[in-house]
Amino acid sequence: MAQNTNTMWGGRFSNKPADIMEQINSSIDVDVRFWKQDIQGSKAHCEMLIKQKIISTEDGQKILKGLDQISDEINAGSFEFKTALEDIHMNIESRLKEIIGDVAGRLHTARSRNDQVATDFRLWTRDAIGNLIAKINSLQSTLKSLSNKHAKNVMPGFTHLQAAQPITLGMHMDAYWHMLNRDKSRLEDCSKRLNKCPLGAAALAGTPYPIDRNFTAKKLGFEMPMENTIDAVSARDFANEFLFSCAQTGLHLSRLAEEIILWATPQFGFITLSDQWSTGSSIMPQKKNPDAAELVRGKTGRLNGNLIQLMTVMKGLPLAYNKDLQEDKEPVFDSYETLCLCLDAINGMLDTASFNIDAMKSSAEMGYTTATALADWLVMELDLPFRDAHHVTGMIVKMAENKDCKLDELALTDMQSVENKITNKIFKVLSIRP
Ligand code: ARG
């Protein structure tokens, strides 16, 4: 065999690839991240080959042992990854050959890198979803304890970022708990749909060997083999769903980050971030900046970009495998790592922040936030049509504005000059009670 060609597929080649060809073709820097899943998939495949007597038990055992050794080497950091070997699959297989000799070549019987990579990627994404869900759970429990702790602490609720109606901090935190709960169920849903096994599809058309796809599917924790082998090697909608779920979760975190940033300004003064979660300014000594929250908000751009990247790669790709698909992993790995970081950062910030409940309460008392309650009282107690109640309330608010006082500081007679049926029972809705 010509020595200067790629030993995995170089049979019909007499020259090695150009340097730039090697560079553009290589994905090892990226797909090294799923080396564990690659070994896991190879071991399941090898056990199936033994069971089906496609390879001998003796050869199979050598392969399994060799794969374990590779796993130890990678864990120990002594494995040498080579760009010339393109990707994680060929790096591992080539090392297997160094360790056990030509028997290594039997592992790739009844398999292609196309079903191999699709399997690895699904396994990796399933694990990633599990890790993200654990992080979301942890953030949710921080939010839950904040909403319990502040169930009766009043703050202004906003629409148009104008004080609208009084709410509680607990209720506000609980809103984020629910958003994250939906994010979690989107990830769970994605995990359910991706949980079918591509292995056995080979390049695209299946394989003539008497393989047992149910065995490998079960061994790898998949619900069943993928039904259509062409679809098995070319589908990446699971990755798009994952990217969308990450982007949507990031978007929710970004809204929370934005509120943390606003609330931490001296103008709002609702929240004080701990020193651990703040940074200083090199020129303005008084500054304490919420950089982590700003970065969570900023990183939403990456999460959205990653989704658009893969959707664009996939658009117009003919069936089945095309090398474009190698571009599928980087956005997925990046979104996972970015989202892990954002979830941890928001959790750390919230967990160590102190909420200035007095400032929140006095802010809730500004801006006539009980005006809607006043209008509703006029409807419920005096049977005014809501539109009339709205008008009456508007006049009362204007009166308070002119007198520069709060609504509950107005005299009953003043309010009666606008609507004479008003009684002193109205005062119970004019001031804020949790
Ligand atoms: N590194 C490749 C990828 O990620 C593996 C599959 C290669 N398949 C092929 N037919 N060249 O897509």
CATH number at residue 85: 1.10.275.10
Question: Do 253 and 358 fall into the same domain?
Answer: yes
Nearest Cα to Cα of residue 154 among 376, 352, 397, 365: 365
Task: Answer yes or no: is the C-beta of 325 below 6 A from any ligand 1 atom.
Answer: yes
User: b/e for 319-358, b at 16 or more Cβ within 10 A?
Assistant: ebbeeebbebbbbbbbbbebbeebbebbbbbbbebebbbe
**Structure-derived torsion over alpha carbons of residues 101, 107, 111, 116, reported in degrees to the nearest 10:** -90
CA distance 148 to 140: 12
Q: In the structure encoding, which two tokens stand for residue 340, read together?
A: 């892990």
**Spans of the chain below 50 pLDDT:** 1-3
For residue range 349-375, what is the model confidence (pLDDT) as tens digits?
999 999 999 999 999 988 888 999 999
Pocket test for ligand 1, best of 27, 34, 113 (most atoms within 8 A of CB): 113
Query: Mean of the per-residue pLDDT values for the chain?
Result: 95
Question: Do 179 and 216 fall into the same domain?
Answer: yes
Q: Phi and psi of 164, rounded to 5°?
A: -110, -65
Does 26 map to a domain? yes
* pLDDT number for residue 36: 98
Name the 3-class secondary structure at 166: strand
Does 7 map to a domain? no
* pLDDT number for residue 286: 77
Does 256 map to a domain? yes
Nearest-5° Cα angle at 420, 418 to 426? 85
Does 67 map to a domain? yes
Task: Answer yes or no: is the C-beta of 116 below 6 A from any ligand 1 atom.
Answer: no
Last residue of a domain, one of 362, 389, 417: 362
Show the domain range for 385.
368-429
Q: In the structure encoding, which two tokens stand for residue 199, read together?
A: 């292995």
Residue nearest to atom 1 of ligand 1 (CA): 87
The residues, ordered by sequence, that sit 6+ positions from 297 with a Cβ below 8 Å of its Cβ are 254, 257, 258, 261
* pLDDT number for residue 4: 56
Could you tell me the CATH number of the domain that includes residue 179? 1.20.200.10
Pocket test for ligand 1, best of 323, 324, 332, 333 (most atoms within 8 A of CB): 323
Question: Do 119 and 101 fall into the same domain?
Answer: no
How far is ligand 1, taken at its centre, from the CA of residue 69, in Å?
Answer: 24
Q: Quick one: CA dihedral 94, 95, 96, 101, positive or negative? A: positive
CA distance 378 to 234: 64
CA distance 269 to 29: 45
Residue nearest to atom 10 of ligand 1 (CA): 114
Q: Are strands 196-197 and 224-225 parallel, antiparallel or unpaired?
A: parallel
Last residue of a domain, one of 109, 134, 150: 109
Does 296 map to a domain? yes
Q: Are strands 354-355 and 154-159 parallel, antiparallel or unpaired?
A: unpaired
How far is ligand 1, taken at its centre, from the CA of residue 93, in Å?
Answer: 14
Query: Position of tokens 């008497």?
Result: 210
Question: Do 125 and 61 fall into the same domain?
Answer: no
Does 13 map to a domain? no
* pLDDT number for residue 2: 39
Burial of 279: CB neighbours in 10 Å, binned 0-12, 13-18, 19+:
middle
Last residue of a domain, one of 109, 125, 156: 109
Question: Do 310 and 392 fall into the same domain?
Answer: no
Question: Do 62 and 165 fall into the same domain?
Answer: no
How far is ligand 1, taken at its centre, from the CA of residue 58, in Å?
Answer: 29
- Are the CB atoms for 415 and 396 separated by under 8 Å? yes
Question: Do 48 and 164 fall into the same domain?
Answer: no
Residue nearest to atom 2 of ligand 1 (CA): 326
CA distance 290 to 331: 27
Task: Answer yes or no: is the C-beta of 320 below 6 A from any ligand 1 atom.
Answer: no
The atom number, within ligand 1, closest to the CA of 88 reads 1
Q: Quick one: CA dihedral 407, 413, 416, 422, positive or negative? A: positive
Question: Do 247 and 132 fall into the same domain?
Answer: yes
CA 224 to mean position of chain CA atoms = 26
Does 417 map to a domain? yes
Question: Do 39 and 178 fall into the same domain?
Answer: no
Q: E-strand spans in 76-227?
A: 154-159, 162-168, 196-197, 224-225
How far is ligand 1, taken at its centre, from the CA of residue 198, in Å?
Answer: 14
How far is ligand 1, taken at its centre, from the CA of residue 323, in Å?
Answer: 6
Question: Do 80 and 47 fall into the same domain?
Answer: yes
- Are the CB atoms for 191 and 132 separated by under 8 Å? no
Q: Give me the number of domains the chain comprises.
A: 3
How far is ligand 1, taken at its centre, from the CA of residue 168, in Å?
Answer: 54
* pLDDT number for residue 7: 64
Question: Do 209 and 224 fall into the same domain?
Answer: yes
Question: Do 31 and 139 fall into the same domain?
Answer: no
Does 10 map to a domain? no
Q: So which residues are the catalytic ones? A: 160, 281
The atom number, within ligand 1, closest to the CA of 329 reads 4
Q: E-strand spans in 267-413?
A: 271-272, 354-355
CA distance 197 to 239: 14
pTM of the model: 0.93
